[in-house]
Amino acid sequence: MKLKAILGFDTWIFGAVWILLFVAGRDRLFRDPGTFAHTVIGERILDTGHLIERDPFSFTRFEEPWIAQQWLGECIMAVIHRIAGLDGLLVVTVALIALLYANLAARIERSGMDLVLGSLILALSMAVASHHLHVRPHIVTIVFMAAVYGKLCNVDAKRAGIGSLAWLIPMFVIWANIHGGVLGGLLTLLLSVAGWTLAWKLGWDGPIRDRKHLASLWSLTLLSFAAPFVNPYGLSLPAVWLEIMRSKAVSELIQEHASVITLLQQGDAASFATVTLLLSLGFFYIALLAGTDRKAGRIAWLIPVVWFLLSLTRIRHTPLFAVTAVVAIAEIFPHCAWVRRLGDKGLVTFRVREWIGEPQAGFLARALLPTAVTGMALLTFLGSAQLPLTAQKWVTLDGTHWPIGLLPELHALEKDRPSGSPIFNDMLFGGFLIYQTPGLRVFIDDRCELYGDDFLFRYVRAERSDFDAWLKEYHYELALLLPDSNYRKYLEEKPDWQVVKDCPAAILFQKRSMEYPGNDG
């Protein structure tokens, strides 16, 4: 086996993405509070041997019905965390994203596209998805979506038969137990199959040749839609997904679920950058699609249009568009008329190379380097699980985002209070507190389906009367707030509350009736 056959374009992309995310992601990939909460949930399931069916973490919803809808992903995170701490979670997340873009790079190369242009498209795709690249089960949804759509494109191009879609059934079972994004994969499958069926009815070219093919395809589709019900929670699991999708509070209050218009109204540079990148990738994909003759087109090429439109209504869908668009661009590029014309005029960037077929090296050979790199990194970080949060071998949490500077005080207060003592907090810090101070119960975290729309709207729009009512009802004596929190002014105006300590990320308050463990009197 020649080394050149193994070290192909996809391998170089794997290495570049791996290094980039390993360096930049040591703090950037840990900015979502779900990272901490997911890990703790998985740890609790592993420790008890039972799934969680009632809330154990908050004092506002304690013991109310709640299911760990991402239980399998959370258990996997917990296992990795036990082996190599946050460092291990970073390595596995980086490896998944790098493998995703390596596979997209392989499609780019096989399309005959100029590799410089291909690299730019991959970089643009990754930039579009970057807002959602965090250490959490959602990463699996992005990876699986690319795999599902890639397989559908292979079937549409007749590089694979309809029978090859059978592997989607067990994949959807696993996906459903890791993350609710399986609904996106099912939607993509349904749209493709419906389109192929219509094409067959109209006599157009497609993967369906006869009624037997049609029956097989729809049987696979129905079984795929039944797959999410293979879970330990039964009907409750898909019911939670639908509840989150219908939630008005989630779409209006959670930035990750905001529409493009909402992001632009915020007016910050990051929002404008996200929208600009999304529109740039969308424009290039649509321009390729428009430049292709209808007779040469395929149904699967239209799928990213749906994800592009969904991304405009909810920014959470942007990574799904980002990866499906790259697959579609690789499929469409050799067939686009204006690409051919520009190539014929001598523009090297748009000159289409001849189809080079499948990689010369087999799958195992090409997987050797990624596996070795990831395995060696995990071995390097063995023991990180026993290290404090602020002393991981590589991961460094951003002290301007997380209240790292308040950990000694938080731990002292947790130790001094009875187990289950309440702490009022801004939503951002909920998962962090669940991870760092398990002896305290939080006011709120990002499990929106647990708290419900009424409570979420009340939390965001709280008046002084709401805050006073919560104080009277829950009798909390600690509060961890953002420096610009609306609740800060309420506490500062109360003479029986004082600041324990502040840091760039947060301010820690306590009631004056309490004696802070670090004080002498």
Rounded Cα distance, 395 and 88, in Å: 9
Rounded Cα distance, 454 and 356, in Å: 57
Give the strand pairing for 507-511 and 478-481: antiparallel
Tokens of 185: 């994969």
Rounded Cα distance, 88 and 82, in Å: 9
Any idea what the Cα angle at residue 180 is, between residues 177 and 185, rounded to 5°?
100
- For tokens 């049609």, the residue is 214
Q: pLDDT tens digits, residue range 197-206?
A: 999 999 888 8
Residues 6+ apart with CB under 8 A from 26: 90, 394, 395, 396
Q: Is 379 exposed, middle or buried (0-12, 13-18, 19+ CB in 10 A)?
A: exposed
Rounded Cα distance, 213 and 203, in Å: 14
Q: pLDDT tens digits, residue range 399-432?
A: 999 999 999 999 999 999 999 999 999 999 999 9
Instruction: Identify whether the C-beta of residue 442 lies closer than 8 Å to the C-beta of residue 480.
Output: no
Instruction: Identify whether the C-beta of residue 398 lies closer than 8 Å to the C-beta of residue 134.
Output: no
Mean residue pLDDT of the chain comes to 91
How does DSSP assign 321-374, residue by residue? HHHHHHHHHHHHGGGBHHHHHHHHTT-GGGPPPPP--S-SS-HHHHHHHHHHHH
Specify the pLDDT at position 249: 87
Q: Which residue has the higher pLDDT, 349 or 190?
A: 190
**Helix 318-332 to helix 71-110 angle, to the nearest 10 degrees?**
30
Give the strand pairing for 478-481 and 440-442: unpaired
Instruction: Identify whether the C-beta of residue 39 lies closer than 8 Å to the C-beta of residue 32.
Output: no
**Helix 71-110 to helix 34-48 angle, to the nearest 10 degrees?**
130
Q: pLDDT tens digits, residue range 252-299?
A: 877 777 777 777 776 677 778 888 999 999 999 999 999 998 777 799
pTM of the model: 0.93
Specify the pLDDT at position 76: 97
Q: Which residue has the higher pLDDT, 117 or 516?
A: 117
Specify the pLDDT at position 267: 66
Specify the pLDDT at position 93: 97
How does DSSP assign 35-80, residue by residue? HHHHHHHHHHHHHHSS---B--SBSSSTTSB---TTHHHHHHHHHH
Mean pLDDT of 75-104: 96
- For tokens 């299911």, the residue is 67
Instruction: Identify whether the C-beta of residue 130 lies closer than 8 Å to the C-beta of residue 124.
Output: no
Name the percent of the chain lying above pLDDT 90.
76
Q: Which strands, in side-by-side order, build the sheet including 478-481?
A: 440-442, 421-425, 478-481, 507-511, 497-502
Q: What's the start-to-end Cα distance of the chain, in Å? A: 74
Tokens of 455: 């409570």
Containing 176, the helix (H) or strand (E) segment is: helix 168-178
Rounded Cα distance, 427 and 57, in Å: 13
Rounded Cα distance, 374 and 394, in Å: 15
Specify the pLDDT at position 355: 58
| Cα 181–chain centre separation | 9
Residues 6+ apart with CB under 8 A from 363: none
Q: pLDDT tens digits, residue range 218-227?
A: 999 999 999 9
pLDDT-wise least confident of 94-103, 140-149, 360-369: 360-369
Mean pLDDT of 137-143: 97
Mean pLDDT of 140-152: 97
Rounded Cα distance, 143 and 138, in Å: 9
Q: pLDDT tens digits, residue range 336-388?
A: 999 999 998 888 888 888 755 555 455 566 677 788 888 999 999 999 999 99
- For tokens 């009798």, the residue is 475
| pLDDT over 60 at 3, yes or no | no
Rounded Cα distance, 500 and 494, in Å: 14
Q: Which of 30, 156, 17, 34 is nearest to 95 (CA)?
A: 17
Model confidence at 517, pLDDT cuts 50, 70, 90, reads: low
* Sign (positive or negative) of CA dihedral 110, 114, 119, 121: negative
Q: pLDDT tens digits, residue range 46-62?
A: 999 999 999 999 999 99
Specify the pLDDT at position 338: 94
